[in-house]
Amino acid sequence: LELFLSDGVVGMKEAICQSYPKAHFQRCLIHVMCNISAKMRVDDRQKALDEFKQIHTQSNKEMAVQVLHELYQNWEKAYKNVVRDLRQVEPDLST
């Protein structure tokens, strides 16, 4: 096994790393988008999700990280907790 996709279930990443030390872990992007949506006003959701989706259309990881950091800048004032949560899982968003 080379790659695991999972939601944010507590302990899942650690269990996978112990059982499959050579495998990579990535957060399920659908679950991440659902989490973003649940914490934003209806009027802001589509714009924020469109920005988030742009991360995964980039041609390389450096550009994807740059787009993600721009998303942080665009939304941090209005949605501090959303940005904080994304920063915590950032390494698992672009495996």
The tens digit of pLDDT for each residue in 62-90 reads: 999 999 999 999 999 999 999 999 999 99
- Residue ranges of E strands in the chain: 3-6, 24-27
Closest-CA residue to 25 (of 42, 8, 49): 8
| Residue whose structure tokens are 């501090």 | 80
Phi, then psi, of 22 in degrees rounded to 5: -95, -5
C-alpha to C-alpha distance for 62 and 20, rounded to whole angstroms: 27
- pLDDT over 90, % of the chain: 92
pLDDT at position 80, please? 97
What is the model's pLDDT at position 36?
95
Q: Beta partners for 4?
A: 25
